[in-house]
Amino acid sequence: MNLFDVADVYIKRIVNSTIKPSHEGLTTTMTSPMIGAGAMYGNTSSRIKALLLDKDTISTISMCATQSELLKNEIFLIDTIENKNRDVMRHLKCLVYIKPVEESIQCLIDELNNPKYGEYHVFFNNLISKSQLERLAEADNLEVVVKVEEIFQDYQILNEDLFSFEMTLGSSFHDNRKLFRGDDLSIWDPTSLKNCSNSLISVLLSLKLRPEIKFDSHSKLCSKLAHEINNEINKNDKNLFDFPKMDVPPILLILDRKMDPMTALLQPWTYRSMINEYIGIKRNIVDLSSVPNIDKELLKVTLTSKQDPFYHDSMYLNFGELGDKIKIYVNDYKKITKSNSKIETIDDIKQFIEKFPEFKKISGNVSKHMAIISELDRQLKIKDIWDISEIEQNLSVFKDDDEDYKKLTEKILINPDIDFFYKVKLCCIYYLRYCHDGSNEPRINAIINKLKTQGISLDELSIFENFRKQINFVNKRENEMEQSNDINGDITNVSNNNSKDTTMTHDLLSDILKKFNSKMESAKNMQKNRNRNAGNTNNTNEDNVYLQHIPELSHLLSDLSMGQLSETRYKTLTTRSGNVARNKKNNQPVQDVVVFVVGGTTFEEARFVHQFNDTMKGKIRIILGGTSILSTKDYLNSFS
């Protein structure tokens, strides 16, 4: 269950592709002197290989393989299949790796009609339909294709336990089509549903899982997707999904972002998610060109946990821990430069040259991370994130606190320096917290009025209105579901009550904690002038004002690991008939889980999954994925 390993296997398959001798027999029996040239004259072809990718696979490859890895395998020419102006190089072998979508298939057909290279090994990153295969076969007049294979990586790997489909959420800029429709955004766009289910199928196939599907029954989106996947698996029962049965069946858990909107609204405080929030990271590339006075070499930098050990260790650290970590890193670097500075003897030179490539790598890495971190720090300051986030966290964790309300209305909302985006976001958080009891309605109206007097634009206000509408829809549906559940079983009711009790005590405890924290914070602010993440010296997340909120997913995972996941809330669809009855009765252990969040997941949740995996040490392995990885901007803008 390590996605990097999966990617390595697939990349190896592509770059080391050879023809099986058994297939040549078939080719030669039917070749006329000129047809089948590719296979016939294969011996005179060069060892150099060209790699053709399309716009989807180019990112898959670039996120998992480095240039030098490809070069090592004699892939000296990489191009896109959409590029029609490629030179004819008929001595080269060509590896084609594309997603089986109409555009790419058509490009490949055009290519095969007039092949530019000597022989073709074709790989698809997902299932290809029979008619597509037929059209390709028809186009291959010269019989240049010697291999066709489906491998399954129709998704972007962001970490060993995190994947994304990069489906844009809101009104995307180009086609103005939303992933979801309907008043409460609970209806799939048909093509998006198909794409999403295809990609998810490829995740399952690449991990060789034939899972039990569990889904959040409160969400129509989840139920639809779960059934779609289930159908697809049952359809390909015999030929694709005939993996050995496991004693503990793997689980695919489908969740909906709408069930935990809070996590996606809060300002994040760990390295990776902060980069995503304040600078933006797309396909492992961070664009620093908007940073003032940036070095030319650092305009665009890549961050991969696979190749960059510092990033690997630090991406889930909070901002305070990160500061310490980078300090150590820089000091180490300084030590090396010092040892380099005294080059006197020939031996020193030799040593220096031997170490030079590594040295250069480290120095590049240090300046890269320094640039990113100082930019993060700058953004935090100019946007007043320290204040905003504190209130956000307090609002999200504690109930009914007049102090917070006061702070919100008197400190943040009237501050003209703070962007309206954050003010609207705070409104949303406040509403989300208090929408369950009507008594807070006047306060919410007061907040909105305050915003109006500040001169908020209608567009920005409509974000809040839409958000409010949607939350109301979700709540209504949840209430309906709960009522029907009440009739169904008393047991769940009891457990619900229990959980309510525990949240009460939890609130009480955290209240004390909060008081402690805020005192700590003010004391520290005086000392440290807000330079560092407050509460840092304590180094535990619980004590940190900025990391109080714990995503719903975390509770879910611990429930899941103890076998206490609510069966009524998270319904199970089983693919092997006959299991259903037994499962209901039997509290089965859990081992391999793929969690998929419809509507996008966050790096904060990824951090929890990563930590969970670390503590379970292989007993439970979890992979998290989502239709996309959200920043708070992405999420809030999806309501506009």
Partner 1 sequence: MSTVGSANSSSRTSIVNAFDLIVCPICSKEFHNLQNLNNHLDVDHNLADHANTTSPSIPTNGLGETPKKKRGIKRSHWKTPRRDKDNLCHDCGGTLTKPTGMVNCPKCGELYCKRHCKNIMKLNLDAEYDVNNGSWYNCCYACFSSRPGYNDFGASVDLTFKFEKLRSSKSEDKRLRLLQLENRLVRLIDGIISIYENYKGSLLMQFRMNTAIFNFECSVAPWKDDLATTECNICGQKFTVLLRKHHCRLCGNVVCDDESTNCSTNIPITSLIQQAQNLPFQKANATDLSDADLKLRICRQCIETVFIGRKFALDIQAAKSAILQKYESISNLSGAIVASLPEFMSLLRKIEGNKEENELSNENDLRNLSKLREKLLKLFATYSTLNRQINACYPKNNSERRIQEAIQITASQFINDNVLPLKAIPSALNPAAYDARQDQNFGESKKLSSVLNKLTIKEVKEYREELMVLKEQIFILEESLTNAKIQRKFDEVTILHTNLKELNDRVKEIQDMLGDEGFL
In the window 24-63, what residues touch partner 1 (CB under 8 A)? 26-27, 30, 32-35, 37-38, 41, 44-48, 50
Question: Which one of the spans 134-142, 386-394, 452-460, 465-473 is the region binding partner 1 (CB under 8 A)?
Answer: 134-142
Q: What is the DSSP string of 376-420?
A: HHHHHHHTTHHHHHHHHHHHHH--S-HHHHHHIIIIITT-TTS-H
Q: CB of 391 within 8 A of CB of 412?
A: yes
Q: Which stretch binds partner 1 (CB under 8 A): 65-73, 380-388, 454-462, 485-493?
A: 65-73
If we measure between CA atoms, which residue out of 379, 381, 453 comes closest to residue 413?
A: 453
> Is 5 one of the binding residues for partner 1 (CB under 8 A)?
yes
- Of residues 437-496, which lie at the interface with partner 1 (CB under 8 A)? none
| Residue 246 touches partner 1, criterion: CB under 8 A | yes
Distance between first and last Cα of the chain: 37
Element (H, E) at 450: helix 441-454
Paired residues of 89 in beta bridges: 117
The pair of structure tokens assigned to 284 is: 């492992």
CA distance 492 to 485: 8
Interacting stretch for partner 1, rule CB under 8 A, among 144-152, 164-172, 403-411, 427-435? 144-152
* CB closer to partner 1 out of 517 and 591: 591
- Name which position in 16, 18, 20, 577 contacts partner 1 (CB under 8 A): 20
By the 8 A CB rule, do 621 and 256 touch? no
- Beta carbon nearer to partner 1, 114 or 453: 114
Does residue 89 bind partner 1 (CB under 8 A)?
yes
Write down the least CB distance from residue 115 to partner 1, Å. 7
Is 238 among the residues that bind partner 1 (CB under 8 A)?
no
* Contact pick of 66, 69, 76, 473 for partner 1 (by CB under 8 A): 76
- Least distance (Å) between residue 177 CB and partner 1: 31
Does residue 304 touch partner 1 according to CB under 8 A?
A: no
Q: Which residues pair with 625 in a beta bridge?
A: 163, 596
How many CA atoms does the CB half-sphere of 218 hold within 13 Å? 22
The correct pick among 110, 129, 134, 525 for binding partner 1 (CB under 8 A) is: 134
637 is a contact residue toward partner 1 (CB under 8 A): no
**Position among 101, 111, 152, 604 found at the interface with partner 1 (CB under 8 A):** 152
Minimum CB–partner distance for residue 142 and partner 1 (Å): 5
Q: Which of residues 579-608 bind partner 1 (CB under 8 A)?
A: 585-587, 589
Which residue bears the tokens 């294969």?
42
Number of residues that bind partner 1 (CB under 8 A): 82
Nearer of residues 1 and 376 to partner 1, judged by Cβ: 1
According to the binding rule CB under 8 A, does residue 412 interact with partner 1?
no
User: Would you say 218 and 253 are in contact if contact means Cβ atoms under 8 Å apart?
Assistant: no
Using CA of residue 290, residue 294, residue 300, residue 306, what is the dihedral sign? Answer: negative
Nearer to partner 1, 491 or 523 (CB): 491
The β-bridge relationship of strands 89-98 and 117-124 is parallel
Count other Cβ atoms within 10 Å, centred on residue 13.
Answer: 14
Contact 373, 410 (CB under 8 A): no
Element (H or E) spanning 504, and its range? helix 490-528
Alpha helices, DSSP H, located in 96-129: 102-113
Query: By C-beta, is 196 or 207 nearer to partner 1?
Result: 207
- Candidates 164, 168, 159, 246; CA nearest to 210 is 246
CB of 92 to partner 1, least distance (A): 8
* Shortest spacing between CB 502 and partner 1, in angstroms: 19
Q: How far is the CB of 391 from partner 1 (least distance, A)?
A: 40
Rounded to the nearest whole angstrom, what is the least distance from the CB of residue 215 to partner 1 in the complex? 23
The vertex-589 CA angle with 583 and 591, nearest 5°, equals 120
Q: Which is nearer to partner 1, 24 or 103 (CB)?
A: 24
Among 86, 181, 450, 532, the residue binding partner 1 under the rule CB under 8 A is 86
Nearer to partner 1, 142 or 513 (CB): 142
For residue 486, the one-letter residue type is D
Q: Which of 300, 531, 563, 580 binds partner 1 (CB under 8 A)?
A: 563
Give the footprint of partner 1 on residues 489-548 (CB under 8 A).
none
Structure tokens at 266: 């809060």
Closer residue to partner 1 (CB): 128 or 624: 128
550 exposure class (CB count in 10 Å sphere: 0-12, 13-18, 19+):
middle
User: Shortest distance, CB of residue 246 to partner 1, whole angstroms?
Assistant: 6
Distance (Å, whole) CA 206 – CA 155: 10
What one-letter code names the amino acid at 303? L
CB of 121 to partner 1, least distance (A): 9
Pick 12 or 528: Cβ nearer partner 1: 12
534 DSSP 8-state letter: T
Site for partner 1 in 175-214 (CB under 8 A): 205-208
Stretch that binds partner 1, among 67-75, 290-298, 474-482, 601-609 (CB under 8 A): 67-75
HSE of 345, CA atoms in CB hemisphere, 13 A: 3
Q: How far is the CB of 134 from partner 1 (least distance, A)?
A: 6
Binder among 282, 350, 381, 528 for partner 1 (CB under 8 A) = 350
| Other beta carbons within 10 Å of 244 | 6
Could you give the string, one character per residue 609-628, with x where binding to partner 1 holds by CB under 8 A and - elsewhere?
Answer: ---------xx---------
C-beta of residue 72 within 8 angstroms of C-beta of residue 98: no
Question: Do residues 191 and 610 make contact, with C-beta atoms less than 8 angstroms apart?
Answer: no
Closest distance to partner 1 from the beta carbon of 48 (Å)? 6
- Binders of partner 1 among residues 108 to 127 (CB under 8 A) are 113-115, 118
Write phi, then psi, for 441 (nearest 5 degrees): -50, -45
* Shortest reach from residue 64's CB to partner 1, in Å: 13
Give min distance, CB of 326 to partner 1, in A: 29
- Residue 5 or residue 441: which is nearer to partner 1 going by CB? 5
Question: Residue 188: CB partners within 8 Å, gap ≥ 6?
Answer: 179, 180, 181, 196, 221, 224, 225
